[in-house]
Amino acid sequence: MVRFGLVCFNADMDTKLADLKLRPSLLRELNQTGYEVVGDMQNQPTPELLRIPGMGGQDWRKIAKALGRDPFPGLKKR
């Protein structure tokens, strides 16, 4: 179970993108592209997902967490 503020959801590949509380414009873009659940995005590389119009910041962190990925893989902690 993953917590984002007040929103809780299971971190499995059957989680619907609508359950992640993404911005409506991004959710519409993802649905038009053919993504309905988190598992649909599993085989896509991170740079390709970040090129989707409207994808950024908070929405990307939610999707990356649901996919089990590090949202910022090249970032070193100081």
The total number of structural domains in the chain stands at 1
Which domain covers residue 8, as residue numbers? 2-67
- pTM of the prediction? 0.75
Instruction: Check if the beta carbon of residue 2 is closer than 8 Å to that of residue 11.
Output: yes
User: To the nearest 10°, the Cα dihedral for 38, 41, 45, 51?
Assistant: -100
Question: What tokens were used for 43?
Answer: 């085989």
46-76, pLDDT tens digit by residue?
999 999 999 988 999 999 999 988 887 777 7
Task: Report the C-alpha gap between 16 and 39 in whole angstroms.
Answer: 9
Question: What tokens were used for 36?
Answer: 């309905």
Length of the chain: 78
1-47, pLDDT tens digit by residue?
544 444 444 456 788 999 999 999 999 999 999 999 999 999 999 99
